Amino acid sequence: MLESAASLETADESFSAEDRARALDRLQVARARTEGRRLRLLWLLAGPGLLVMLGENDGPSMVSYATTGASYGIGFFAPFIVLTFAIAYVVQEMTVRVGAATHRGHAELIFQRFGPFWGYLAMADLAFGNVLTLVTEFIAIQAAGLYFGLPSWVSISFAAALVTAMLATRRYATWERTLMILAAGNLLFIPAALFAHPNAAALVRSLATWSPAPRFDHGFLILILANIGATVTPWMIFFQQSAVADKGLTRADLRQGRIDTALGAFVAAAAALATLVACATLFDHHVDVSRFANGADFATALRPYLGGAGATLFALGMAEAGLVAAMTISTSSSYALAETLSAGHSMNLDFSSGRLFYGAAIGSTAVAAGIVLIPHAPLLAMTITVNVIATLLMAPALMLLLLLANDREIMGDLANGPVANLAGGVIIVAVSLVGAFYGLVTIFPNILGR
């Protein structure tokens, strides 16, 4: 097998560049598996899970965690954030199985199994959420730049150019590994939190008891929605399934795919908790964050309590969060659009073969960057609202994923079992009920005694 795979290195023109690139990646996987090199095998197959989880620790998510910590402290929300990442793992594990079983992207599979109506509905759901979210990624980048004294147009232009330059690798493996290095910057929130000298006993008590619980009011409900939307969103399903297919993961790779996703959830949860803990010091000192205009205000407000080094790490973490998410979210849009229109959809394509794929990512990046530069936009409110909208859009996306994961014709023995269906069903009902209650409160605000 290895000899025949190796012959692809000198294959004739009957094989496309995309085929040869993916086959060479699989050659390395086959060698590692044959030689019993487990860590090497995990390293080669890891990527989609880590990127989707750390990519979702994006600008609006970190601002949501920061606002939550500054508004309510660690109390109820520390274990709640851990719960949301457990939910994210359940959802994304289904996504990995569907991708490994079908070798198809999520948008492509929806069109094939459910037809154009549901396909276009899912695309509209994704497109609406992605455009809004991509804008907020550049808000986070702008905020970090403002903290360091950079004009908005400089930080935004540099970030947009970097997102575009990453696409020039024209090689999935190169793009993925480079992005994983950048995504490691999400861990900057952990040392930033240590500068706050957190009370470890209080954090453990919070995780164990979910207390002290805040008063249930409109602000609390908004942050519940924002924290759910910070960890479970439609773009994650589209991105990871398409990345699994583009990477070439098979049924034999499912164990490593699950470890990759679990590791991503663990690391992302640690960074999210660190952000909550760092900003809880603002709650302890009664700092009013309702007047903050953007993420830069958090870093500035934290400076007296974390010191210059801690606040700088926090601001750099915000920049990383926005930058990595801009790369993953724009790519999820590209995968979905190209799959919908039956065009080439792989990071291994050259530009002539992947005009639509690369063009969608570049175009959406340019539009989002331009919107952020509009003067006097309500940036912090926009950032929180995006996560709320993501939660409201999640139920239809989860339902389609659950149906695909139960489709034995395409899934075979990888189809959902009773436990996975119970977990998926509970998540869908919970997300739907929270969204419905938010709609009820919006229509009848006095229901919460305001």
pLDDT at 351 over 50: yes
pLDDT-derived band of residue 445, with 50, 70 and 90 as boundaries? low
Nearest Cα to 302, choosing from 312, 315, 311, 290? 311
pLDDT-derived band of residue 52, with 50, 70 and 90 as boundaries? very high
Residue type, 14: S
Average pLDDT, the chain: 86
Could you give the CA distance from residue 257 to residue 240 in angstroms, rounded to a whole number? 10
CATH topology of domain 46-448: Amino acid/polyamine transporter I (1.20.1740)
Our CA angle for 204, 60, 307, nearest 5°, is: 60
Three-state secondary structure string covering the chain? CHHHHHHHHHCCCCCCHHHHHHHHHHHHHHHHHHCCCHHHHHHHHCCHHHHHHHHHCCHHHHHHHHHHHHHHCCCCHHHHHHHHHHHHHHHHHHHHHHHHHHCCCHHHHHHHHHCHHHHHHHHHHHHHHHHHHHHHHHHHHHHHHHHCCCCHHHHHHHHHHHHHHHHCCCCHHHHHHHHHHHHHHHHHHHHHHHCCCCCHHHHHHHHHHCCCCCCCCHHHHHHHHHHHHCCCCHHHHHHHHHHHHHHCCCHHHHHHHHHHHHHHHHHHHHHHHHHHHHHHHHHHCCCCHHHCCCHHHHHHHHHHHHHHHHHHHHHHHHHHHHHHHHHHHHHHHHHHHHHHCCCCCCCCCCCCCCHHHHHHHHHHHHHHHHHHCCCCCCHHHHHHHHHHHHHHHHHHHHHHHHHHHCCHHHHHHHCCCHHHHHHHHHHHHHHHHHHHHHHHHHHCHHHHCC
Predicted structure pTM score: 0.88
Could you give the CA distance from residue 423 to residue 421 in angstroms, rounded to a whole number? 5
Nearest Cα to 303, choosing from 319, 285, 321, 290? 285
pLDDT at 73 over 60: yes
- Greater confidence (271 vs 340) lies with 271
The ranges assigned to domains in the chain are 46-448
Could you give the CA distance from residue 397 to residue 404 in angstroms, rounded to a whole number? 11
**pLDDT tens per residue, range 279-327:** 999 999 888 887 776 666 888 999 999 999 999 999 999 999 999 999 9
Main-chain phi, psi angles of 407, to 5 degrees: -80, 95
For residues 366-376, one letter each, b for 16 or more C-beta atoms within 10 angstroms of the residue's C-beta and e for the rest, the string is eebbebbeeee
Could you give the CA distance from residue 156 to residue 384 in angstroms, rounded to a whole number? 20
pLDDT at 2 over 50: no
pLDDT value of position 343 = 84
Between the two ends of the chain, the Cα-to-Cα distance in Å is 69
pLDDT at 12 over 60: no
pLDDT at 8 over 50: no
Q: What is the CA radius of gyration of the chain?
A: 22
pLDDT value of position 392 = 76
pLDDT value of position 124 = 83
pLDDT-derived band of residue 401, with 50, 70 and 90 as boundaries? very high
CA distances from 123 to 91, 101, 117, 167, 390 (A): 19, 22, 10, 22, 14
pLDDT at 444 over 80: no
pLDDT at 19 over 70: no
